[in-house]
Structure 1
Amino acid sequence: MSMDGAGPGPAPQRARTRLAIDVGGTFTDVFVLDSNGNQTVAKVPSTKNPIDAIMNGAEAAHIDWADVELFTHGTTVATNALITRNFKPVAMVTTEGFRDVLEIGRGTREDPWDAYKEGTPPYVRRRDRFAVKERINFRGEILEPLDEDRAREIARILKKREVHAVAVCFINAYVNGEHELRMAEILAEVLGPDIAISTSHETHPEIFEDDRFSTTVANTILAPIIRPYARDIDRRTTEAGYEADVLLLHSGGGVMTPATAEKYAARLAASGIAAGAIASKYFAELCGYQNSIGLDMGGTSADISLAEAGNIRMTDKWEVDWGHPICFPSIEVLTIGAGGGSISWLDKAGSLRNGPQSAGSVPGPACYAAGGVEPTNTDANIILGRVGTALAGGKKSLNREAALTAMQKIADPLKLDLVEASLATLRVANANMADAVRLISIARGHDPRDFALVAFGGAGPLHGVDIARELNIPVVIVPPNPGVTSAVGCMLVDVQHDVTQMYFEDAASAKPEDVEAGFHKLELEGRNRLERDGVKAGDMTFQRFIDMRYRGQWRSLAVPVPGEITSIEEPLAIFHSEYEKAHNFRREDFPVEIYRLTVRAIGVTPKPSFPKISIDPNAQAVPKGSREAWFHGHPTALATALYDRETLPAGVTIKGPAVIDQLDSTTVIPPGDVAYIDEWLNIQIRLGAA
C-alpha cells in the first residue's frame, strides 16, 4: 500500500496481437506478432477437425483470444474435399440439351497418347443432373420462357433426395441471368432457405459453358462443407474472446469473411498454397528484390510461384482434378512431387528418378526409423552430412545407419558408393525442381537471372542454393522462420473480390465512355461486397483489368488499366507488350478484341510491421561445432561449420561451407557462397560471392 496518498497508477496496457494460422495436411503452423514487435511461432499436429488444430495451435502459442485484433487463416479443407471427393448430396439443374456438358468438357484427354485412360468423373453424377426447358439467346433475349411446372417438379424430387446444395447452370445465363434467378427462387421455396444454391451467372459470368458450369458446380459441392466450417470457426473464436471477423485466405491472394466464404466456397480450394506465394514476395521485397521466385518445399511436394515487378503471377483457370476447371482468379503456383520424403528409385531402363512417390510423414524417410525402407532426399542429406542426427531442436532423432542401408538400393545397381548415390539423388531432385522453375519463369518469358529465389518450408533452405546455381539465380533468401512462412503470408493480405462482366467489342470500334460505364457498374458491385464485409469506404481501392485477344483467338490476356478510360490506345499498347512477353510474338497490325472487364475490389487491412534490427558492423558468428559434409564438385568431404540460427546477430557474414540449424529447418551454404544476416534476420546467400 502506498503511504503518500498516491494511487497505484494505471495498469500497464496489454500488447495486442495479430494471429495467422495455416492448416496443412500434417502440421498446423502458427505465427503471432504483437504490438511490441515480438514474434512467436508454433507447430502442432493437424487434426480431423481442423478447427481443433487451430485452437490447439493458439494454445501452444499462449494466445489469449481477447488480445487478438486480427486473425487470418489459410486452410486445406476445400482442397482436401475435392481430392477425396467426400461430398454431401448435391444436384445440378441446367437447360434441356446440356445435361452432359460436365462430362463432355473440352473433349480433350489428360494423356493424349493413352486412348484407354479414363478421365475423372464429374463431381455431380448424371442421375443428379436435371434439365428444364428455357432458352435465352446470345443477345440476352428470351426465346423460350422457363418451364416453371418442370422447375417445381425438379424441386420436389430434390427435396425427396435430401440434397444439401444445387447448382443452377443455364446455357446463356452469362448475358441474362433472369431464368437462373427464377429457378433459384423456386428451389428456395420448396427446399427451404438453408439449402445452398449457386447460379452460374453470379458465380462465374463466362461465355464458355464448360468453364462456367464446372466452376459453379465446384462452388456448389463445397458450399455444404465450407458453410458449417466457416460458421463453426467464427463461433468458437468468438466464444474464446475474439471480437473481430475471422479472415479466410482465398485462392486470389486475398481474404474474405465467413459470410462471403459461404457464397464463394470454391475460392478456398487453393487457400494454403497462396499463402506461401504471398510471403515469398513479401520477404523478397524486404530484401530489395521486386522480382522473386518462391520455393516452398515440404515433406511431400514443392510449390513454386513467381512475382515480377512486385506483382505475383496470377491465373484465371486451375483445377484440383484434371478436366474440372475452377475459374476464379488464383495465384499461379506450380506444384510437383518433390520434398524431403520424395523417394529415389530406378526405372525399367535403370535410370535414376526421384519422386513423385513420397514416404510422407508416416512411415517417413528411412532415417526416421519408423518403418520406412526406401531411400529419400532426407536420407541423402543425412548421409552427406548436410543434416545432423537430430531435428526440431533435438526433439527428433535420425538414424544415419538406416539411411545408409536404404541408399544401398541405389548405389549397388548403379555401381556407386553411398556418397555418390546420395549426391546423384539430390542432383536429380534439384533438377526436377529447377525444371519446374523454368516452366513458371523461362516458359513465361522471364529470365531467372533477374530474380531472387526465396527458399522456405522445412526442406527449401536445404536445396535452395543448388537449385539457384543450376538456374544462375544470383541470390537465395531464407526467411527467419522457414517452416511457418506460409502462416506469415496469411497475415499480409487484404479483403479482396474479383467482379467480372463479358464485353465483346473490337478495340478499334469500342467507345471509351461505354467501357468506363462498364467499369463503373463493376466497381459499384465491388463496393457493395466490401461494405457487406464491413470494410470502411476509406479502406477501399479498386483495380481495373481489360481482357483482350487477337481476333479469332479464344484465349485472352488480362491487361491492367491505370485509371479512367479516356482512350483505348493505352490498354491496347499494354496488351501488345504483355502478349509478346507471354508468347514471344506480337502483331500490332492485326485486329484486337475486348473480351471481358474485371474489377478487383480491395479492402485494405492493417499490415504487420516487423521489427528492424540494428546492424552491428563488428558482429561475429560463433560456430557451435563442425562436421564433415559432401558437396557437388568436391571429391572429398569438407570441414563444415555448424551454427544455431538463433545465435546469429544481424550484420554477420558466414562463408561456406556451413550449415545453419534452427527449430523448423536447416540451411545449407555450399563452398564458395556467402551468407549475410540482414536487419530483418533473413539469411541472404550470394552465390559465388566468396
Structure 2
Amino acid sequence: MKVGVEIGGTFTDLVRIDARGLSIAKVPSTPAQPDTGVFHAIEAGGISLADMTELAHGSTVATNAVLERKGTRLALLVTEGFRDLLELRRQDRERIFDIFYAKPAPLVARRDAFEVPERMLADGTPERVLELEVAGPVIEAQLREGGYGAVAICLLNSFANPAHEHGLAAWLRARMPELRVTCSVDVTREFREYERASTTSLSAYVQPVLDAYLTRIEARLAEGGFSGTFSMMQSNGGRVPAAAIRLNAGSALLSGPAAGVTGAIRQAGLSGFRDIVTLDIGGTSADVCLIQDGRPELTREAKVDTLPVLMPMVDITTIGAGGGSLIWRDEGGLLRAGPRSAGAVPGPACYGRGGTQPTLTDAHLVCGRIQPDAKLAGAMPLDAAAARAAFAPLAAELGMSAEELADSAVRIAVANIVSAIRLVSTRRGRDPRDYALVPYGGAGPLHAAAVAEALAMDTVVVPPNAGVISAYGLLAADHSLHDSLTRRTRLDEGAAESVSLTLATMRDGLAARADGMELGPDRRWDVTLEMRFVGQAFEIPVPLTPALAEAPTVEGLRTAFEEAYGRIYRHGAVMAGRMAEIVSYRVGLHVPPEAVPSLAGIGGDGFSVPEGAVEVYDEGRPQRAFRMARSAVGGVPRPGPLVLEDVTATTFVPSGWTATSDEAGNLILRKAAP
C-alpha cells in the first residue's frame, strides 16, 4: 500500500494506492503541530501503519520556519573581508514606491558572521591557503561561545574548488559533533556570492527544524510497525528519501506546491494535454505554473520571504488569493481580496469556527456557486447565515447588496490571478491561448472558467477529485536528483569537448548518488545550460534536447541559445555575430514511479448531490444554474451555468461555457462558439 500525504494551509490531504485502486481522505490541518495532521489523515483513511509499503510526504514546515523565523540559532563562516555579505545583499527594492520599505533582516545577524583567513580564486587556485591549525581553534572558540545550533560555511569561489570548505567542515565535525555543519558546495555549486550564501544559510537554518519534524514522523511510523520507504517532496518537483533531504533541507522549501504541479501534469496528460497552465487555489494562496510539453520549467530565481534561493525549483508564482483570503477596503477605500487570510483557524465565517470577516469562500457561498447544503471535503457543514452576516457591514458601507459585494470580490481575485498567469506566460514569450488551464485545490475549479475567459483561453481541464491533486502528485512524482556547476565556457572551437566532459562528470556523480539511494535503473536525464552573450551580466536557461546533450556541438548549442534568446527578447538575430558563452550547467536525473492509476471514480462512496435548478449570482446579475454531481456529466456537452460537485471540490461552469467528461475522468470545459 502506497500513501501520499500533503499538508496545506487549511486541509491535510491523503491519497492511498493499493490492490483495490485509489482512495482519498481529507482532514483539517493542524498548523501548530503539522506532523499530527499527517496521522489524523492516515487514521481518517482507515490505514494501518504496518500495512503501508511507502509513504510520500509534502509539507511547508521548512517554509514556515523561515517565514516565522523559528529556525535554529545560526552562525555563518565566510572568507575574510566578506563578513557583511548578507547585510549588503543586492541593492534592489521589492517595493520601489514605498518610502517606509525596509528589507527583512537576514537569517544571520552580523555578530554571528565570522571571517575565515583564506582565499580561493575564480579558477579554483588557492591564493591564501587555509591553515586550520592556526585558524581552527579561533573559529571553534567563537562558535562555542555563541551557543549555535548550526553553522553555514560559504567561502569565496568554493564552487570552483571545495577543498577549503570541506576541510573546515571536517575539522569542525571532529571537534564539535553536536553542531550541524552545512557547506555551500553541498547545497549549490553556482557563482554569485550573495545568492549562494543566502541559500546555504536558508538550508542550514531550517535543517534542525526539518530534521526534528521528520524524526517525530519516523518515530510514530516505527511505533505503528511501518517498515516501508519514507520519501519527501522537493521544490524541484521530484522526491528523495527522507534521509537524503536532511542533507539539503533547503530543497524542501516549496515542496507542497510542487507536488500539485506534478499531479496536474500526470492527470491532464491522460487526456492528451501537455501544454498547460496549472492553477492551484487552496485555503491561503493561488499558485500558477506554466508547463511546456509535459514538463514544468525550473527556476533559479525563487525567493522565500524576499531571501534568494539558488537551487532548482518548479517555477511557481504565488499570490494571496485563496479560499480564506479576506475581503476588505484599503486606506484609499478600494475593495481588496487578499493577501490577508483567515488561515485555517478561525478560517472563513461559513466554517462556524468563530471567523467574522468575509473571505472568498464566503463570497462563493453568498453567490450560490457553493450551495448552502454542500459539505466541504464531503463532511464539513457550512453556515450560510454566518457568511452573509460577515458581508453585511462592508456591504452597508459601500451601498451594495451582499451578492453584489461578494461577486465583485471574486472578480477582483480573478483579476489578480490573471496577472499572475501573465507573469509566467506573456512576460516570458508564451501565449496563454496556446495552453489549457488546469485548476485544482478546493477553490481552483470555482474560478477557472472566469480566469480562462479573461486570458482568451478556450479550454479548461478539471481533474477528478481536484481537491487532493497535491497528495496524488506525491505518488505520481519521480525520484529526482539535481546537480549544478558554474564553469564559464565560450562557444569556440574546443567548446564541444569541454561541454561533453563536464556533463559526463556531472551525470556520473548523480548516478552514483542514485545508486547509493537504491533508486531504480529506469532513469531519464535532462540538461539545461545557463547561457549569455559575452559581456552580458545575466544569463538565460537553455534546455538541451537529449540528442544535443548526449553529443553537443558548437553549432547546436549556438542555435539552441539563439532560439531561447529570441523567444524571450525577440531580437536574438541582432546579436548573432557576438560570441556566446555557457555560465552554468544543470543536470537532472529522474527515476519514474510504478504505474499510478487515475484519480477518476474514487471518493464517491455515500456522496450524493440533490439535482435541480439553483440561484447563482454571477457576472453582476442573478442567474439560474443547474446543480448536479460532477460524476453525472457525460460525453455530451452540457451548457452552463452549472454547479458541479464532488467530494473534494466544486466546479462552476458559467454561461457561455460547456462541460463534458472524458475517459480519463477529466472534466473538459470549453468556451462555447458565439
* TM-score of the two chains, using structure 1 as the length reference: 0.91
Whether 2:209 is the aligned partner of 1:209: answer no
Q: Secondary structure at the match of 2:302?
A: coil
Q: Is the 8 A contact 1:155 1:186 kept in 2?
A: no
Mapping of 1:257-272 within 5 angstroms?
Answer: 257-272=241-256
Runs of 4 or more above 4 Å deviation: none
Mapping of 1:447-596 within 5 angstroms?
Answer: 447-536=431-520, 538-561=521-544, 562-563=546-547, 564-586=550-572, 587-596=575-584
Match among 619, 625, 636 for residue 612 of structure 2:
625
Match among 182, 196, 207 for residue 223 of structure 1:
207
After the TM superposition, which of the residue ranges 116-125 and 600-609 deviates more from structure 2?
A: 600-609
For 2:363 and 2:99, how far apart are their aligned partners in 1? 39
Mapping of 1:229-378 within 5 angstroms?
Answer: 229-322=213-306, 324-378=307-361
Whether 2:629 is the aligned partner of 1:644: answer yes
Report how far residue 134 of structure 1 moved. 0.8
1:137-164: CA deviations, max 9, x gaps? 2222222121422222211332343322
Report how far residue 252 of structure 1 moved. 0.6
CA RMSD of aligned residues (A): 2.3
Report how far residue 640 of structure 1 moved. 1.8
Report how far residue 215 of structure 1 moved. 1.0
1:99 corresponds to: 83
Q: Is the 8 A contact 2:21 2:597 kept in 1?
A: yes
For 2:351 and 2:43, how far apart are their aligned partners in 1? 28
For 1:640 and 1:373, how far apart are their aligned partners in 2? 28
For 1:362 and 1:18, how far apart are their aligned partners in 2? 30
1:454-513: CA deviations, max 9, x gaps? 111111111111111111111112211121111111111112111122221221344311
* 1:116–1:624 CA distance, 2 compared to 1 (3 A): closer
Report how far residue 438 of structure 1 moved. 1.2
1:160-188: CA deviations, max 9, x gaps? 43322211111121211111121112211
Report how far residue 413 of structure 1 moved. 4.4
* 1:129–1:226 CA distance, 2 compared to 1 (3 A): same
Q: Is the 8 A contact 2:57 2:233 kept in 1?
A: yes
For 2:136 and 2:57, how far apart are their aligned partners in 1? 39
Task: Give the counterpart letter for 2:588 in structure 1.
Answer: R
For 2:359 and 2:59, how far apart are their aligned partners in 1? 28
1:157 corresponds to: 142
Report how far residue 388 of structure 1 moved. 1.4
* 1:623–1:653 CA distance, 2 compared to 1 (3 A): farther
Q: Secondary structure at the match of 1:264?
A: helix
1:330-377: CA deviations, max 9, x gaps? 001111111222222333443332221223333333444544333332
Report how far residue 117 of structure 1 moved. 2.2
2:425 corresponds to: 441
1:278-337: CA deviations, max 9, x gaps? 122222212221111111112221111110121212201211121x21111000111111
Q: Is the 8 A contact 2:347 2:353 kept in 1?
A: yes
* 1:230–1:397 CA distance, 2 compared to 1 (3 A): closer
Task: Give the counterpart letter for 1:528 in structure 2.
Answer: A
For 1:592 and 1:516, how far apart are their aligned partners in 2? 17
After the TM superposition, which of the residue ranges 429-438 and 381-390 deviates more from structure 2?
A: 381-390
Report how far residue 96 of structure 1 moved. 0.9
Task: Give the counterpart letter for 2:368 in structure 1.
Answer: G
Q: Is the 8 A contact 2:489 2:495 kept in 1?
A: no
1:617 corresponds to: none
Q: Is the 8 A contact 1:375 1:409 kept in 2?
A: no
For 2:637 and 2:42, how far apart are their aligned partners in 1? 35
Long gaps (5+) in structure 1: 1-16, 614-620
* 1:362–1:38 CA distance, 2 compared to 1 (3 A): closer
Task: Give the counterpart letter for 1:600 in structure 2.
Answer: G
Report how far residue 387 of structure 1 moved. 1.5
Match among 586, 590, 599 for residue 602 of structure 1:
590
1:424 corresponds to: 408
1:184 corresponds to: 169
Q: Is the 8 A contact 2:234 2:254 kept in 1?
A: yes
Report how far residue 653 of structure 1 moved. 4.3
After the TM superposition, which of the residue ranges 515-524 and 159-168 deviates more from structure 2?
A: 159-168
2:604 corresponds to: none
For 1:347 and 1:44, how far apart are their aligned partners in 2? 31
Q: Secondary structure at the match of 1:407?
A: helix
For 2:629 and 2:131, how far apart are their aligned partners in 1? 72
For 1:611 and 1:188, how far apart are their aligned partners in 2? 47
For 2:618 and 2:79, how far apart are their aligned partners in 1? 63
Task: Give the counterpart letter for 2:553 in structure 1.
Answer: S
For 1:258 and 1:622, how far apart are their aligned partners in 2? 41
Report % sequence identity: 33
Mapping of 1:71-110 within 5 angstroms?
Answer: 71-110=55-94
Report how far residue 535 of structure 1 moved. 1.4
For 1:330 and 1:141, how far apart are their aligned partners in 2? 31
Q: Is the 8 A contact 2:275 2:293 kept in 1?
A: yes
Task: Give the counterpart letter for 2:495 in structure 1.
Answer: K
* 1:675–1:27 CA distance, 2 compared to 1 (3 A): same
Task: Give the counterpart letter for 1:175 in structure 2.
Answer: A
Match among 28, 46, 49 for residue 62 of structure 1:
46
Report how far residue 379 of structure 1 moved. 2.7
Q: Is the 8 A contact 1:40 1:61 kept in 2?
A: yes
Q: Is the 8 A contact 1:650 1:681 kept in 2?
A: no
1:493-536: CA deviations, max 9, x gaps? 11211112222122134431121111111111101111121114
Report how far residue 397 of structure 1 moved. 3.7
Q: Is the 8 A contact 1:369 1:399 kept in 2?
A: yes
Match among 150, 155, 158 for residue 170 of structure 1:
155
- Aligned residue pairs total 661
Whose radius of gyration is greater, 1 or 2? 1
Higher RCO structure (Cα 8 Å, ≥6 apart): 2
Long gaps (5+) in structure 2: 602-607
Q: Is the 8 A contact 2:9 2:282 kept in 1?
A: no
Report how far residue 27 of structure 1 moved. 2.2
Report how far residue 674 of structure 1 moved. 1.3
Report how far residue 547 of structure 1 moved. 1.7
For 1:55 and 1:400, how far apart are their aligned partners in 2? 31
For 1:612 and 1:383, how far apart are their aligned partners in 2? 30
For 1:125 and 1:611, how far apart are their aligned partners in 2? 48
1:424-459: CA deviations, max 9, x gaps? 222111111111111111111111111111111111
1:3 corresponds to: none
